[in-house]
Every structure is written in structure tokens, then in C-alpha cells.
Amino acid sequence: MAPAPRIECDVLVVGGGMAGATAALAAREAGARVVMARKSPGSTGLSGGAVSVAQDPACMPDAPFAARSGVVESARRIAATRPGHPYGLLRDRLDRLWNAVEFATGQLSSVLAPPTGRNRWLLTPFGHAHPAAACQRTMAAGDLAEVRGTLVVCGFEGHLGWDPGLVASGAVRVEPLGGPRPRAVLLDLFRWEEGAVGTPFDLARLLEAPGAAEEAGKILKRILARGDAAAVLPPVLGIDPAARVPERMSAEAGIPVAEFLSDLPSVPGLRMHRAIEARLAAAGVEVLGGEVRSGAGPDLPAAVGGREVVARSWVLASGRFVGGGIERRGELRESVLGLPVQASEGPFADPSIRFAARAAATLTQADSRAPQALLAAGLRVDGELHPLDAEGRVVHPRVFAAGAVVGGHDPASDGTGMGVAIFTGWLAGRAAAGRGA
Amino acid sequence: MSKVRSYAWLAWRAVVPHPLRALRRRGTGEERFLAAYATEGLAPTGLEARADADASSACISCGLCESACSLRAAIPAIRSLGLHAAFRLCGKSDEMLAHASAELSACAACTGCEPLCPTGVPITRLVRALAARAAVLDAARRELPPRER
Amino acid sequence: MAGPAHQGGYDVVVLGGGVNGAGVARDCAMRGLSVLLLEKRDLACGASGASSGMIHGGIRYMTSDRNVTALASRDAGYIRHIAPHLTFRIPFLLPFASQAEGSRLLDRVTWYATEVYVGTYDLFQPLKGGKPSVRLSADELYRVEPGLRPGLHGAVTLDEWGIDGQRLCLLNALSAADHGADVRTWTEATSLVREQGRVVAVRFRDAVTGEHGEARAGVVVNATGGWSPQFGRSNGFQVPMRPGKGVHLSLDRRHGNYGIICTAVDGRQMFLMPHEMESIIGTTDDDFFGDPDDLDATADEVAYLVDGAASLVPSVREARITRAWWGVRTTLFEYGVEEDDLSRDHRIYDHAGEGSAGLLSFVGGKLASYRAQSEELTDRVAAMLGKATLPCRTHEVPLPGGDEVPSPRELAARHGIAEPVAARIVFRHGSLAREVLRLVDEDPRLKLVLCRDEGILAAEVAWIARHERVRRLQDLRRRCRLALGGCGGLDCARPAAQIVARELDWDADRLRAELSDLLEAGWRERRAVLDGWQLAEEELLRAVHRGLGGL
């Protein structure tokens, strides 16, 4: 068998999460021929349904409605207080942040609801109200800032996975600030063994079955009282958006029905992963499965899943630790091009401090709420998203970095992970395609 | 004083009873070792098994693989424990593995789960390797009297 | 107040819920004494819960007194008898390494001496159900453990028992309670009350409710371990000891089925050994002068242990380290002696000479000898009280669940759960596994497997919350390893907390606070070992618990 022909393209995007997808789609839109190398779903495929871009740092944790400022305005405040954060590095271009968010959410409109410009406040299984600039369509009706009246917070009689009282406590805490009054109820669902031991995926499939969502809607309707304005349920309302589980339930119950956010395992994460795959295929991005190891960079052949790819520009969107873009085996390193890991925050925000080889104990603090340098570690980039080498020089004028592989922020917990992925992905994709921002 | 007595006793053991005991023993050291331990499920861990273990350790328990496991719907034992437990829990120790042969051997090797694994765990290969080891351990265990299982 | 049944006070108030405190409480209660056990945190929160988890037969005493070895081995046999479900066999390899090229005569003599020494220990093995040692040639050694570094000359083997030390502690306390003792966890003894040179009562404070109380006592037993010097200082008596900090590392799975004795960089002996479903590397031993409530594993302790284990088993560097954990062991005071050479013996101090008659302190000792130590201490207590008591029966009466080890296969089939899950429940609960699993017949929702990493069933969490004196969520770390595996509670922490909250009637705010506390404890143990995939796991954990949970 003859070897598959070498692929020549304009842009090679490494990584298929939110940053990589946004970069690939932005480059594609700019007319470039784009190849994506990705090994598997990264942390985007494990996300809970929220697209978190920026929460106003001036806003107290439990006082969301006190700060109704727009998402971009919040990002500006983050940029002003955290100069090492990607928003800080890109502060002169933050006026384009919203273009990026609208672009990404528009591309993924099969699962994402249109953003409004301000944060939606969504409940989580932990009893927390979480701000999100955008969210999945199945979740938008649960926005605490919009529900007027009583919010019915549902669990399932037959499944111990979610405690509606705990979930509702997230709304109780913000009720005095203008949120809805929550009411926790158990729906008489899944009361047989198959349901009781099911994973979220199993429950989602059960609800997709013909008639199941309608039946669930009827059960919900039975417990509704006057003043009930909307209902939120565990995030298992179907895997496939085309199954229209929330809509079917809502039609029976007579009030809007939404999911709250998901922890793991995450049905919304799988939904997002599938939506990204579908959109990339439709946009004509060629996706190659497999890792890029020791690839040499632009204009040089890189081996990806048995194929050879030569690209004019590269976008590294390979993620952080889950994605595998940054790894630590005794020492921190970037895994695709072997670049130095030298951006972080907290005590190691100063770029002159070399920390990649330090012991884990010295890169972390005993209080988990404190900034953890190890969890914020990644590539140092300039304002054009070019990764920098150990001497602070641009590695290559046509190599860009986007998303969690860029250091200086803690995408897992600082509430800006998706926003950074979208913004840097969009900028990097356009730049790689030869179009400036 | 007791120290002196102890050392004298040990010295005597070295010169007389120990060599005598060596004469009475049957089989090589390895044979006696394996007869004592491998029958209890405490078998040697080969390099291959250890490499498999390291590959399993890449699992971050995100649960995404389970969305693609069609066996979950079909087999009650798998349903309650789940696929990623197969290589996280069952692969942790031979003792656990010996109890998991039913779960592990149920895998039909459809490989549907693998493209979903964020950390690239070769799930099918590992489940198959674990199932093979589990079957061996399980068989050894059944031969033991009930109290020792 | 400590309860209407004991308005007149207790015969004995035991301070400290480690294995000695729980053991002496059990023994006293079984002999018919009225007992109050006070523990400022949870049972097994100190050195007992951070021990290597071994019930060994005292091989090191053969050089001083073989009767001690006989006693220790017999006691190991008793523990096997009263808690068979909690123990597991650990074969050790003691590899022969040579400093020089080839093997010198001196090496060969040393190896033969080792072989004879361990072979002599075989005389005691029948007392504890151990197996005889074996000498392996170099070739045989590499077939038995191919992961060893090249250049070794063979090994001798040694048979010992491992145990879940935390549950051993718990079972002693539960048994004490079954025999009428009042067991109060999260209740700190704040001060001693004296009358005419005698300690007559203990004042205490419940850390969960904030309530204060006072209990009159015939005898007070101070078994606060590493906290003794502090407690003594603030209460007018002195407890001489050399506290030492010991750190262990856990791997996410068994690296092999055999323990391996290694030599650390400073020549100390250390080990890599299978323990339950993990392997552990241990241990450090350094004098500790700080606050036992404020410990962490340091970077150099982690490196010391990894390097030491890797010197014989290089493949541990590829393994995933899930956590570093620590405790303060209490060794008898001696000046001018290396930590390792300190006696692991124990001593009972009577503080009558310090104006504190009726107060005993227990110092030193080993997990493996806890039962015999408790018996000795109880004898002293009974003598001080001048009361006629029943004879000691702690060596023959099984601990709760220790009367029988049911078959996991049978239980799994009967209750429709996975066999590995049943096996874990049998390991932890012994014959009580039947009761635990009866819960799933009443409520099939409890068949949910909460943690696929540790095999924790919802029913087990409910059972533990109901019957095992849970007051804080973090108590489940020690009861069933909740959130202790590599996943750090990613799947299970929240649903387990929900079940405990339902059982103990916690509101949502309490539940969130308890969850935070549980997760914080896990972070403290992981942060020094975050590397490889464990670091990726941490990213997910952080995303879920901090990002999504706002905890």
C-alpha cells in the first residue's frame, strides 16, 4: 500500500478543545486550509455546560446580582488586577473579546444559547450559583437573574446522584439579591433498579426514549404549584439536542424546563464534544486523530496519526494537564514543541523566576484557595500570542498558542478558562491564517 | 546479659539447626516461595503487567468512556460498577482482580470507548489483559479451601 | 455532661482515640469498668492512622529477648483471630546488595547471617499464621520480582501481616461502646480537675456543638500520643518522649504483591510494600518539635522516599503517587541517640509524684502490640482503682464483624451487586457486610457505586453514617477511604456527603462546609506529590470542586 500523501495546509491546529476548535474555525472562516491534530476530547469534553468568560473580581462570591456589569467589563477588571493573566497580556485587544465570544457561540449554536452580554447565573450540583457568559441551550431557562417567581429545583426519587435541597441552597443564598425563590422537589422518576444505578449517560438515554420526556413532563406538572416559574433538573436531559428532551418536558409541564450545570461524568460535556466534532466537519476542517509528538514547527513535516502534515503556521491549543499540552514528569514541560514552561501566577508570576524544575511542594500552598502556581503553569506568550523561549524571544513568528497551554491563569477554577480559550483561539486562528485582529 | 544469650543462641542456630533444616527442605527456593504465595493470589508481577498498570494509571476517572460502553446496558454487573472501574478499581490489586473476572470477561472489545478517553488509555487492550490475569487468579482461588479465599 | 448513666462519674476516662486509647477503652469496658473515651478529633487521626499498618511479630527483638518476640508473635496471632477480615498477608523480600563489584566474603557472611536470622524467626511464625522464609538465588529473585535493579545477589523472604490500622482503631472503639463505654469523638479534653494532689475529673469541649462538660474519673489515662507533651505542659505534668515525624507515600495501585526492603540514601532501612489496594513507601523518621496539628510533607521528604524506593525498584518512578501522609510517633525519651536507634518499647508513667495521682500516661509502643499494651495498661488501671474486674478477654473476643469472613461472591450474587464491590465491603466490615448489604434490599437506590476508584457503595456510606460514630464528613476518610484514592473524591465526595447529610440531618450549609473540609484535607496530602497524571486529575478536581462547586 502506498503511504498516504503528505498534507500541505495553511494552518495546523494542535488540540481539539474549545481553543483549538475556535482557532480552526476562525482560520477556516478567514479562508485558510486548516488541519486539526487532536488525540481525544480534552477538558472541553468534560465541561459542565457553562461557557465561563469572566466574573467581576470586585463581586463578592455570594453576591452575584450586586454586580450586573457586562462580561467584557469584568474581563477588563481582571486584566487590570492580574497583569500576567492572558486578559492582562491582551488588554489592548479586549474590545474584540465579545466578537470572539459571539463567533464561537455562533459556530456552536447547535448546543449553545446566544449570549446576552452579561453573565447568566446557573445552579450547580454543589449548591452554588455559577456565572457564565454563555451556556448550553438546555440550561438557559435556569438563569437565576431571569426567573421571576418560584424556581422548582428537581431531583429524582429513584436516584441518589443529586440532592435538590443542596442544589437549591445555591439559589437560597442569592434570593435576597433578586434571585427567584427556590423550591426543592423529588420527581418520581427512575424508581427501578436500572435507573437507580444508572450513570448520567444512562439516565439521559432513558429520557430520550419515545414518550419518556413527555411522561417526565407530566410527573413534573403534577407537583407544580401556583407561582412556579421554571424548573431545573439534573443535567441528564438527553445527550442528543435533536431529541429535544427539555422542550418535550416543557410542553407537557407548561413551564420552562432547564438543566443545572454538571459535574462528572458530564452529559453536557459529551454534547459539547459532539457539537464541536460536527461543526469542524461541516466547516471543512480536516481532523486527524493522534498525537503530535516532537513536531518540528511551521514548514517542517510533522507526523500525525500516520500522516505527514506540513503547515505554514501552527496554533498550539493542546490544553493544560488534562489535555496534555503541559506535562510534569518531575519537571514541567510543554509536550508538542518542548517549549519552556515559564508563566504562572502567585509567587511565580514574575517571568524572571525559573520554576519548571521546582518540587511540587514549593509550587503549591497549603490553603487550596490560595493561587497555586503549579496549576497555573504554562507557556509564556507575547501580546501576539507567540510563545516565548527561555530568553524571552519569540520561538517562531508563525507559531501561536491558545487556551490552557498558555500560562498565568488557572482555567480549572478562576472562571475564565473558556473565555481565554475562545479569545486566544479566535485571535490565534485569525493571526495564523494571516488576518490580524 | 540476655543480649549475650540471644546472640549465642543465634550463633548456634547458624551452625547447627539452620544447615540441618536446609538439608530437609525439598524444592528450590523459588518453588517453595511460589507454593506459599502464588496459591494465595500473591503472584509475581511481570514487567508487562507493570507496564499495563502504568498505562491504567493514566485514567483520570472522568467517566466519559462509559457513555460509549454498550455492555453497560446489557450486563447488570457492569451496570452497577461501570467500565472505568474495570481498569481503575479491578486493576489495583490482584485480590480485587480475582473478584472481577465476570465483569472483565464480559467486554466484547468493541473499542467504542477508546476515542473518548482524554488521556489515551488503551482500554480494550488493558481490559483484555486484566481479564486473562483475573481468570488465572480466579481459578487458583477456587482451588483453595473456603476459609482461605 | 457526659450522659445520665454516669452522673457519678466514670471509673476511667481515656484521653486519645488512637489505637492505645481505643484499645484500653475496650479492655476496661470488657472488664466491667465504666469508661469515657475522649478524642479531640476523630479516631485514628494521629500516629495510629498514619502508621505503616503492620501487625508484625517482633523480629527485631530476637537479638535482645526472644520471649518478647514470642509474645509479639502470639499477639499478632490474636489480632488475626479477632479481626481476620482486616488483615492481609505481605511477603517481604530482603534483597542482597553488595557495595563492591561481585560479592565479597564479608557480604556472603552478612547474607548468611540474615538468612539465619529470618530463618530463626520462622520458629515464631506458626504463632501468627506466618509462612517460613525462603532464600532465593539471584535468578530466582529476578523471576519473582523482575522490576528490581540489576546487580543483586539474591534475597531472603519474610512473612508479615498488614492491617487497616484506621479501622482497627475504630473497631476497638465500637467494641468499647458495645460494652458500655461512652465514646466521644471531636471532643477535646481541655483541662484536668485536681483535688488534694489527685486528678478527679476532666473538663472537655465538644468541637462540633461547642458544648462544654466535665466528667469525674477514678483514673485518667492520657493516651494522646504526639499531643502528650503539649497537653502535659498546659496541665501541669510532664511526659518525657522523643516525638518523631514519619511520612509515607501512597501509589495508586499495588506495584507488586511483595514488599521490598530498601536502603535509603542515608543508610536507613525503608520499604516499598503492598497495602490493601495500594503500595506504600515508607517511612521517614525525624525528630519533631513542632505542633502535631500543623504538619505537611515537605519536598525533601517526598524525594527521600521516592529515591530510596527507586534505588531498588526503579519502576516506582513511573508509578502514580497519589498522596503523602504523615504522623507523629511517640518514642521513649533518650538523649544523644539517632532517631532509628530509639527504642520502640513503651512505658506507662504514673504522675502521682507531680501532684497528679490517678493520672497515667502511655508513651511509645507499636500498632502491632496495641492489644498487649492495652492489657498491661488496663491491669494498672484496675489495680489503681482497687476494683475486682473480669479477666482480660480482648485476645479471644472478636472485634465487631470479626467473627466470620463471608464470601464476597455469595453476597454479590444475593444482593445483585458487583463482586469487587462486595469484596471491599467484606474487607472493611467482615461479617457485618451482611447487614451493610441488607440495606440495598430495603432501598435499591443504595446500590449506586459512588466511587469507582475505591469501590464505595452508597449503602456502605449510609451504614457507616448510621453505625460508625460519624460526626464529620472527613471521618469517612478513615472509615471507608472516602476521597483517598487517586481520584481524590471526584465522583464520590458530593454524593457521599449527600447521603451522610441525609442520615445525620445536616442542612445544605453544613453539608457544603463538611465537603470543603474533606476536600481541603485531601489537597494537603496531594500537593507535594502532584506529578504526571495525578496532576491532570488535580486539574479536574479543581475544576469540579472549586470551579463548579465554589468550595
Contacts of C416 in chain B (CB under 8 A): 76, 80
Q: Indicate if the pLDDT at residue B144 is higher than 60.
A: no
| DSSP secondary structure of C43-70 | TT-STTTTS--EE---GGGGGT-HHHHH
Tell which B residues from 97 to 126 touch C, by Cβ distance under 8 Å.
99-100, 102-103, 119
Q: Are C472 and C208 in contact (CB under 8 A)?
A: yes
Residue C15: strand, helix, or coil: strand
Q: Note the pLDDT of residue A267.
A: 98
Q: Report which secondary-structure segment, H or E, holds C89.
A: strand C87-95
Nearest CB among B10, B46, B77 relative to C117 is that of B10
| DSSP secondary structure of A228-286 | EEEEEE-S-S-SSGGG-HHHHHHHHHSS-EEE----SS-HHHHHHHHHHHHHHHHHTPE
Contacts of C512 in chain A (CB under 8 A): 126-127, 166, 169
Assess if residue C401 is contained within a domain. no
Which of the pair, C169 or B108, is modelled with greater confidence? C169
Tell which B residues from 39 to 68 touch C, by Cβ distance under 8 Å.
40-47, 50, 53-54, 56-63
Rounded to the nearest integer, the mean pLDDT of chain A is: 93
At C500-542, the pLDDT tens digits run 999 999 999 999 999 999 999 999 999 999 999 999 999 999 9
Q: Which three cell numbers stand for residue C535?
A: 496532576
Q: Report which secondary-structure segment, H or E, holds C139.
A: helix C138-144
* Domain identity same for B51 and B105: yes
Confidence of residue B88 (pLDDT cuts 50, 70, 90): confident
Confidence of residue C94 (pLDDT cuts 50, 70, 90): very high
Confidence of residue C3 (pLDDT cuts 50, 70, 90): very low
Confidence of residue A63 (pLDDT cuts 50, 70, 90): low
What's the rounded mean pLDDT across residues A84-113?
97
Which CATH number characterizes residue C356's domain?
3.50.50.60
- The rounded distance, in Å, linking the Cα atoms of C1 and C519 is 33
Say if A160 is an interface residue toward chain B (CB within 8 Å). Answer: no
At A377-418, the pLDDT tens digits run 999 999 999 999 999 999 999 999 999 999 999 999 999 999
- The rounded distance, in Å, linking the Cα atoms of B52 and C50 is 30
Name the domain boundary from A265, A296, A317: A265
Q: Tally Cβ neighbours within 10 Å of residue C173.
A: 28
Q: Indicate if the pLDDT at residue C436 is higher than 50.
A: yes
Confidence of residue A57 (pLDDT cuts 50, 70, 90): confident
* Domain identity same for A173 and A218: yes
* Domain identity same for B122 and B50: yes
Q: Are A40 and A342 in contact (CB under 8 A)?
A: no
Rounded to the nearest integer, the mean pLDDT of chain B is: 84
Nearest CB among C448, C547, C549 relative to A196 is that of C448
- The rounded distance, in Å, linking the Cα atoms of A12 and A314 is 5
Q: Indicate if the pLDDT at residue B81 is higher than 50.
A: yes
What's the rounded mean pLDDT across residues C47-57?
95
Q: Note the pLDDT of residue C2.
A: 41
* Domain identity same for C277 and C180: no
* Domain identity same for C456 and C324: no
Say if B99 is an interface residue toward chain A (CB within 8 Å). Answer: no
* Domain identity same for B2 and B52: no
Q: Indicate if the pLDDT at residue C244 is higher than 90.
A: yes
Say if B12 is an interface residue toward chain C (CB within 8 Å). Answer: no
What's the rounded mean pLDDT across residues A348-372?
92
Size of interface A-C (CB pairs under 8 A): 157
* Domain identity same for C355 and C227: yes
Name the domain boundary from C163, C187, C204: C163
Task: For residue C238, give every residue at least 6 positions away whose Cβ sits within 8 Å of its Cβ, in sequence order, or none.
Answer: C232, C354
Q: Indicate if the pLDDT at residue C325 is higher than 70.
A: yes
Complex confidence, ipTM: 0.96
Q: Note the pLDDT of residue B149.
A: 41
Among the ranges given (A39-53, B63-77, C30-44, C523-537), the one the predictor scored with the smallest mean pLDDT: B63-77
* Domain identity same for A207 and A288: no
Assess if residue A1 is contained within a domain. no
* Domain identity same for C277 and C293: yes
Among the ranges given (A100-109, B133-142, C233-242, C514-523), the one the predictor scored with the smallest mean pLDDT: B133-142
- The rounded distance, in Å, linking the Cα atoms of A71 and A81 is 16
* Domain identity same for C352 and C320: no
Q: Are A285 and A168 in contact (CB under 8 A)?
A: no
* Domain identity same for B55 and B76: yes
* Domain identity same for A134 and A11: no
* Domain identity same for A303 and A399: yes
* Domain identity same for C216 and C275: no
At C102-159, the pLDDT tens digits run 668 889 999 999 999 999 999 999 999 999 999 999 999 999 999 999 999 999 999 9
Contacts of B85 in chain C (CB under 8 A): 418, 420, 449, 452-453, 455
Assess if residue C452 is contained within a domain. yes
Confidence of residue B142 (pLDDT cuts 50, 70, 90): low
Q: How far is B3 from chain C (nearest CA, A)?
A: 5
* Domain identity same for C125 and C205: no
Contacts of B40 in chain C (CB under 8 A): 89
Task: For residue A391, give every residue at least 6 positions away whose Cβ sits within 8 Å of its Cβ, in sequence order, or none.
Answer: none
Q: Note the pLDDT of residue C65.
A: 84
Q: Are A70 and A118 in contact (CB under 8 A)?
A: yes
CB contact under 8 A, A412 and C523: no
What's the domain range around B116?
Answer: 46-148
Q: Indicate if the pLDDT at residue A333 is higher than 50.
A: yes
Q: Indicate if the pLDDT at residue B78 is higher than 70.
A: no
The nearest alpha carbon in chain B to A270 belongs to B64
CB contact under 8 A, B118 and A197: no
Q: Indicate if the pLDDT at residue C58 is higher than 50.
A: yes
Size of interface A-B (CB pairs under 8 A): 57
* Domain identity same for A244 and A300: no
What's the rounded mean pLDDT across residues B22-34?
92
| DSSP secondary structure of C192-232 | EEEETTEEEEEEEEETTT--EEEEEEEEEEE--GGGHHHHH
At A139-168, the pLDDT tens digits run 999 999 899 999 999 999 999 999 999 999
At C277-299, the pLDDT tens digits run 999 999 999 999 888 998 999 99
At A288-300, the pLDDT tens digits run 998 886 668 999 9
What's the domain range around C100?
Answer: 87-163
Interface test with B, best of A44, A193, A199, A293 (most B CBs within 10 A): A199
What's the domain range around A30?
Answer: 7-46+270-432
Confidence of residue A62 (pLDDT cuts 50, 70, 90): low
CB contact under 8 A, B6 and C63: yes
Contacts of A37 in chain B (CB under 8 A): none
Nearest CB among B29, B84, B146 relative to C134 is that of B29
* Domain identity same for B12 and B85: no
What's the rounded mean pLDDT across residues C5-27?
90
CB contact under 8 A, B93 and C276: yes
Strands A332-334 and A326-328: antiparallel
At A247-271, the pLDDT tens digits run 999 999 999 999 999 999 999 999 9
Burial class (CB in 10 A: 0-12, 13-18, 19+), A70: middle
Confidence of residue B147 (pLDDT cuts 50, 70, 90): very low
Q: Indicate if the pLDDT at residue C351 is higher than 70.
A: yes
Q: How far is A385 from chain C (nearest CA, A)?
A: 23
Q: How far is A268 from chain B (nearest CA, A)?
A: 11
Q: Note the pLDDT of residue B83.
A: 65
What's the rounded mean pLDDT across residues C443-450?
93
Confidence of residue A437 (pLDDT cuts 50, 70, 90): very low
* Domain identity same for A279 and A147: no
Contacts of C303 in chain A (CB under 8 A): 359
* Domain identity same for C176 and C111: no
Total domains in the fold of chain C: 4
Rounded to the nearest integer, the mean pLDDT of chain C is: 94
* Domain identity same for A34 and A177: no
Among the ranges given (A332-336, B134-138, C459-463, C505-509), the one the predictor scored with the smallest mean pLDDT: B134-138
Task: For residue B12, give every residue at least 6 positions away whose Cβ sits within 8 Å of its Cβ, in sequence order, or none.
Answer: none
Name the domain boundary from A265, A287, A315: A265
Q: Note the pLDDT of residue A385.
A: 98
Q: How far is A374 from chain C (nearest CA, A)?
A: 9
The nearest alpha carbon in chain C to A50 belongs to C548
Assess if residue C75 is contained within a domain. no
Assess if residue C419 is contained within a domain. no
Confidence of residue B76 (pLDDT cuts 50, 70, 90): low
Neighbouring chains to C with at least 3 Cβ pairs closer than 8 Å: A, B
Q: Are C465 and C496 in contact (CB under 8 A)?
A: no
The nearest alpha carbon in chain A to B60 belongs to A322
Assess if residue C429 is contained within a domain. no
Q: Report which secondary-structure segment, H or E, holds A287.
A: strand A286-289
- Give the whole-number percent of chain C exceeding pLDDT 90: 88
* Domain identity same for B82 and B128: yes
What's the rounded mean pLDDT across residues B67-75?
74
Assess if residue C392 is contained within a domain. no
Q: Tally Cβ neighbours within 10 Å of residue C181.
A: 25
The residues facing C158 across adjacent strands are C92
* Domain identity same for A174 and A235: yes
CB contact under 8 A, C455 and B53: no
Residue A297: strand, helix, or coil: coil
Q: Which three cell numbers stand for residue C456?
A: 464505595
Q: Which three cell numbers stand for residue A380?
A: 509564556
Assess if residue C327 is contained within a domain. yes
Q: How far is C509 from chain B (nearest CA, A)?
A: 27
Total domains in the fold of chain B: 2
Which CATH number characterizes residue A362's domain?
3.50.50.60
CB contact under 8 A, B119 and A46: no
CB contact under 8 A, B62 and A39: no
The nearest alpha carbon in chain C to B40 belongs to C89
**Residue found by looking up cell 488512637 in the block:** C18
At A117-134, the pLDDT tens digits run 999 999 999 999 999 999
- The rounded distance, in Å, linking the Cα atoms of A268 and A246 is 13
* Domain identity same for C231 and C363: yes
Q: Note the pLDDT of residue C5.
A: 42
Confidence of residue B69 (pLDDT cuts 50, 70, 90): confident
Q: Indicate if the pLDDT at residue C399 is higher than 50.
A: yes
- Give the whole-number percent of chain B exceeding pLDDT 70: 83
Neighbouring chains to B with at least 3 Cβ pairs closer than 8 Å: A, C
CB contact under 8 A, B13 and C120: yes
* Domain identity same for C362 and C236: yes
Q: Are C549 and C339 in contact (CB under 8 A)?
A: no
Q: Are C516 and C284 in contact (CB under 8 A)?
A: no
* Domain identity same for A325 and A418: yes
Total domains in the fold of chain A: 2
CB contact under 8 A, A289 and B115: yes
Q: How far is B83 from chain A (nearest CA, A)?
A: 11
The residues facing A310 across adjacent strands are A8
